[in-house]
Amino acid sequence: MGRKFFGTDGIRGRTNAGVMTAATAMRVGQAAGSYFRRGDHRHRVVIGKDTRLSGYMMESALVAGFTSVGMDVIMTGPLPTPAIALLTREMRADLGVMISASHNPFADNGIKLFGPDGFKLSDEAELAIEAAIEIDQPLAPSAEIGRARRIEDARGRYIHAVKQSVASDVRFDGLKVVVDCANGAAYQVAPSAIWELGADIVAIGVTPNGTNINDGVGSTSLDAVKAKVLEEGADIGIALDGDADRLIVVDEKGQTVDGDQIMALIATRMAERGDLRGGGVVATVMSNLGLERHLADRGMTLERAQVGDRYVLERMREGGFNVGGEQSGHMILLDYGTTGDGTVAALRVLAGLVRSGKPASELLHQFDPVPQLLKNVRYEAGAPLDADAVKAVIAEAEAELAGKGRLVIRKSGTEPLIRVMAEGDDGQQVERVVDRICDAVRTAS
């Protein structure tokens, strides 16, 4: 069944265009509010946002929608996505909403929904709400319209919670840490949490103005944090994205440490302490073969889900895993939260740095990645992956890489693109394989 509103991570798009309008947001509030009105208690929803200019508009529209169907609203102001998941559960709300387009430019925005347990909604719940968006919902009687209020202690609640992910005997005294908050949702809480644990903080990306979120800073624009780490002689750099559910690390030499290396470190440390559940890690089809080999050498497994943190989380819950994530930096640590949390992951990395006494460049280089290449091929129409010629080239490539590498080919869920990724021990072979498949797709389209 095709979807008009929900994608792989809530509703997202350019504001004041397509589905991302105030009118749509109000209807989402009405539909989701009606869906979660169960029982005779006073219902309420927690709403947070990042720092985008359009957040004011979307917040007001959602408040109007929720209150019109009789649901009370608690607004937190700018907070990371995982903070909203946490507060939804802790405040016994019926629903949580995060207004954010994550790492996208400021002109985009999105709506992410969490159930009362703090987890993202199931496909079934999203489909039910999607169907209800285009149907007029019964409005509350005048005396039962919801109330809206802002709470002032939300930041403090979240900071306290994330600090609990670090053992009480661990302090970051003596560490100099560059923290890049992408001018996004964590611009206050992430530097505060790390500073309160003793680190010397150099904060960048902490002056949001509504239009500079993810603009030359954050986990998708690493030049700024790399330069600051080298300039300050810092021990490590921490880069979050716009809603702070993603983490990329920069070591003291200015080298990038991606999600695969972070997962390897966290999982290995937890396995050594007997805290790792599920026997390994859940990642996606994009995670490097080097990670899989590293874990296998240490008696752990790597289970792969399709791209998207929600699919990683689903497999984690099904298999009883407590560590999962994506190469792009989503880190899901179920012992400490119900969704990806870049700040919690950063604290775990910093704790590892303190306990090991090693420099970041040594500690965070857990394995040697095998050569990996990803190319995108745009097509005009049709289904090029169904062409016999393309299938034949893919089959040849799989045979060539057998036992020496891996091939992942998928259609983009948001653009007319075919994504071709290969990895293997021979970098030149990987490049040849990817180019042959890309050429075949172009010819077929």
Clarify whether residues 247 and 281 are in a common domain.
yes
In a domain, 311, yes or no: yes
pLDDT at 329 over 80: yes
Rounded distance, CA 215 to CA 363, Å?
30
Domain that holds residue 69: 6-152
* Single-letter amino acid code for the residue at 2: G
Over residues 281-323, the pLDDT tens digits come to 999 999 999 999 999 999 999 999 998 888 999 999 999 999 9
Q: How many residues does the chain have?
A: 445
* Catalytic position from the list 34, 54, 100, 102: 102
pLDDT at 89 over 70: yes
Clarify whether residues 77 and 200 are in a common domain.
no
What percentage of residues in the chain have a pLDDT greater than 90?
Answer: 90
Clarify whether residues 294 and 148 are in a common domain.
no
Q: Model-level pTM?
A: 0.92
Single out the residue in 328, 351, 367 at which a domain terminates.
367
In a domain, 120, yes or no: yes
Clarify whether residues 135 and 159 are in a common domain.
no
Single out the residue in 344, 367, 390 at which a domain terminates.
367
In a domain, 61, yes or no: yes
How many domains would you assign to the chain?
Answer: 3
**In Å, how far are 157, 177, 263 from 331, measured between CA atoms?**
21, 19, 7
Clarify whether residues 140 and 186 are in a common domain.
no
Mapped onto helix, strand or coil, the DSSP state of residue 260 is helix
R_g of the chain computed on alpha carbons: 22
Clarify whether residues 256 and 300 are in a common domain.
yes
Kind of pairing between the strands at 176-180 and 236-240:
parallel
pLDDT at 115 over 70: yes
pLDDT band at 414 (very low <50, low <70, confident <90, very high): low
pLDDT band at 1 (very low <50, low <70, confident <90, very high): very low
Check if 221 is active-site: no
Over residues 248-281, the pLDDT tens digits come to 999 999 999 999 999 999 999 999 999 999 999 9
Segment holding 303, helix H or strand E: strand 301-305
Single out the residue in 152, 187, 204 at which a domain terminates.
152
| Residue keyed to tokens 């005048």 | 142
In a domain, 96, yes or no: yes
Q: Are 382 and 376 in contact (CB under 8 A)?
A: no
Kind of pairing between the strands at 236-240 and 247-251:
antiparallel
CATH classification at residue 24: 3.40.120.10
pLDDT band at 411 (very low <50, low <70, confident <90, very high): confident
Token output for 254: 């200015």
Q: What pLDDT does 307 receive?
A: 87
Over residues 182-236, the pLDDT tens digits come to 999 999 999 999 999 999 999 999 999 999 999 999 999 999 999 999 999 999 9
Clarify whether residues 234 and 313 are in a common domain.
yes
75-89, 339-353, 414-428 — which is least confidently predicted? 414-428
Clarify whether residues 241 and 167 are in a common domain.
yes
CATH classification at residue 400: 3.30.310.50
Nearest to residue 179, comparing CAs of 208, 202, 163, 199? 202
In a domain, 114, yes or no: yes
In a domain, 24, yes or no: yes
In a domain, 1, yes or no: no
pLDDT at 383 over 90: no
CB contact set of 187 (below 8 Å; sequence gap of 6+): 51, 78, 181, 205, 206, 207, 208
Clarify whether residues 340 and 220 are in a common domain.
yes
